[in-house]
Amino acid sequence: MRIAVVGTGYVGLVTGTCFAETGNTVTCVDIDQVKVEKLINGQLPIYEPGLDHLFLRNLKEGRLHFTTNLEEGVKGASIIFLALPTPPGEDGSADLSYVLGVAESLGKILDTYTVVVNKSTVPVGTADKVKAAIAKNAKVEFDVVSNPEFLREGVAVDDFMKPDRVVIGTSSEAAKKLMNTLYAPYVRQGNPVIFMDERSSELTKYAANSFLAVKITFMNEIARLCERLGADVDMVRRGIGSDDRIGRRFLFPGIGYGGSCFPKDVQALVRSSEEVDYAFKILEAVMDVNTEQKTYLVPKIKRYFNDSLKGKKIALWGLAFKPNTDDIREAPALYIIDALLAEGAGITAFDPEAMKGVKKLLGDKIEFAANQYDALEGADCLVIATEWSVFRTPDFELMENRLKNKVVFDGRNVFEGALMESMGYHYESIGRQPVKGAKGK
C-alpha cells in the first residue's frame, strides 16, 4: 500500500517506519526542513530504542521517503495519516490549527478517493471538523477516520508493531476495509482491532490517558499518606497490585507524570467537559495534585539543609520525563530545576539522552556533566528525577568519593532504603520512611 504520514515527530516517525517495515511504501511529510534533511541522510532526530535499525533498513530498501512538500508527499497515497501536534491552546483545550490547516490543504490536493486518518490526539468532534476542512476545496470523494495512537515513548516500536489494540473510528465500509488490511500484520496474535464511531474513538484516547493519570496520581496521594502514617508504599503497592481488578502496572509513586501527552490530554478533557457543562472533578483534582507532586521533593531538600539552599551544589540525575527517551516536554526535572534555582542552589545535571534538549532550553543556567559520577563532584546532595536503569545499581564507592555529603533525594524510588541505611546515607524517597543519615560534612 502507498501511505503518507504528515508530521514526523515521535508518533509520525514511528508510524511511518513501522508501516514501511511490513512492506508498505511510505512518504513522511514535515514542515521542518532541517529535520527532513537529517532523515533523508539517515539521521534520526529523536532517541527511541530500536527505531534506528528499522528506519535505516527501510530507508535503504526504498520503502521510506521524506519530503517537506505536502503535495509530493501524498501523491498516490491511498491512506494519509495526520500525526500533527495538538498542543494546549491558551485556555488548555487542544489547538487544532495544525490538523485543520493540513486538512484544508489536502482538499486542494486530493485527486482520487483517499482515506485521511487522524492519529493526533484530538477532542471529540474533530473528525467532523477535518471532514469540513477538506470538503471546502475537495473535488473527489474521501473519508476521514479516527485512529488514535497508544504508543509509549521509550517502547514505541514494540507498541506499534504489537499493539494491545487498534482503535478505529469510522462509519465508512470502504475505509474500514482498507484499515483492516493495513493493520492485519500487527495483530496476528489476536489483539483486537476495535471498530467504533469517530466520536467514541476520539474519546477513547483521552479516557485512556486520563485514567492512567488518575492511577498514577492516586498512588502519589497514597504515598503521601504512607509517609505521614508510617507505612511503606512499596508494600501497599504490592498488596493492592496483586488484585486482578487493580493490576500491577502504573502503581509506582514518584514526582508526578509529565511528557507531551498526559498533562495536555487531561487538561484538554477537562476543557472539553466544561464545553458541555460537565465539571470533571476527578481530573481537576488530578491536575492539582500532579502540579504539587512535580516539586514535592523541594521542601524536603530545603528542610534537610535548615531551610536554605543558597549556594548549595545539587547533583541531578535524570532530565527526560521518563527513561528511554530524550523527550523533556513537561518533565518534572525542569520544574525541580526552576524551584531549586529560585532558592539559590546551583545544579549539575546528567541524563543519558536528554541533555541536548535541556541545554537548548536553559543554556548555562545549570551545568551538565559528562557522566553520572562527574555530576556528583562536590555536591551537597543528589536528586534523582528519572529512573534510567543505569542509575539503579551505581558504583556506590565512586558515588561516595564524589559527593560532599552522603545525601540522596530520590523522586523515583530507585534505591532500597535498607541498602542506603547500611551505607550511612541520608535518604528520602516517595512514600517510604526516610533514612536519617548523619548530617552533612
Whether the CB-CB separation of 158 and 21 falls below 8 Å is answered with no
Q: Where in 255-284 is the site for ligand NAD (CB under 6 A)?
A: 260-261
Among 3, 4, 5, 12, binds ligand NAD (CB under 6 A): 12
**All three cell numbers of 403:** 559527593
Q: Which of 39, 84, 116, 144 binds ligand NAD (CB under 6 A)?
A: 84
98 binds ligand NAD (CB under 6 A): yes
**Which residue's Cβ lies closest to ligand NAD?**
9
When the beta carbons of 24 and 120 are compared against ligand NAD, the nearer one is 120
Nearest to 100 by CA among 68, 125, 75, 79: 125
CB 319, min distance to ligand NAD, A:
17
| Per-residue cell: 271 | 476543557
Nearer to ligand NAD, 227 or 265 (CB): 265
- For residue 44, CA distances in Å to 10, 39, 60 come to 11, 6, 14
126 binds ligand NAD (CB under 6 A): no
- Number of CB atoms found within 10 A of residue 276's CB: 7
Binding-site member from 49, 50, 85, 185 for ligand NAD (CB under 6 A): 85
Report in angstroms how near the CB of residue 73 gets to ligand NAD at its nearest: 9
What's the burial of 358, exposed, middle or buried (CB within 10 Å: 0-12/13-18/19+)? buried
Q: How many residues bind ligand NAD (CB under 6 A)?
A: 26
User: Looking at beta carbons only, is 143 or 149 nearer to ligand NAD?
Assistant: 149
Residue 169 binds ligand NAD (CB under 6 A):
no
**Min. distance of Cβ 91 from ligand NAD in angstroms?**
17
Query: Distance between CA 293 and CA 37 in Å, rounded?
Result: 40
Q: Which of 10, 19, 335, 425 is close enough to bind ligand NAD by CB under 6 A?
A: 10
- Does 222 interact with ligand NAD (rule: CB under 6 A)? no
CA dihedral 202, 203, 209, 210 (to 10 degrees): 150
Which contacts qualify for 194-198: CB closer than 8 Å, 24 or more apart?
194/165, 194/166, 194/167, 194/168, 195/168, 195/169, 195/170, 196/167, 196/168, 196/169, 197/169, 197/170, 197/171, 198/127, 198/128, 198/144, 198/145, 198/146, 198/169, 198/170, 198/171
Strands 79-82 and 166-169: unpaired
Among 3, 39, 102, 319, binds ligand NAD (CB under 6 A): 102
Binding ligand NAD (rule: CB under 6 A), the pick from 59, 83, 133, 349 is 83
Question: Is 18 labeled as catalytic in the residue annotation?
Answer: no
User: Is residue 31 near ligand NAD by the rule CB under 6 A?
Assistant: yes
Minimum CB separation of residue 416 from ligand NAD in Å reads 31
Rounded distance, CA 302 to CA 75, Å? 59
Which of 5, 11, 106, 340 forms a contact with ligand NAD (CB under 6 A)?
11
Interacting residue with ligand NAD among 21, 27, 30, 146 (CB under 6 A): 30
- Single out the residue of 27, 58, 121, 413 in contact with ligand NAD (rule: CB under 6 A): 121
Catalytic residue among 18, 28, 226, 261: 261
Query: What residues are paired with 79 via a beta bridge?
Result: 3, 115
C-alpha cell at 30: 514535515
165 vs 281 by CB, closer to ligand NAD: 165
d(CA 146, CA 123): 11
Q: Does 118 bind ligand NAD (CB under 6 A)?
A: no
Q: Which residues are catalytic?
A: 261
What does the binding site for ligand NAD look like in residue numbers (CB under 6 A)?
A: 6-12, 29-32, 35, 83-86, 98, 101-102, 120-121, 149, 151, 153, 260-261
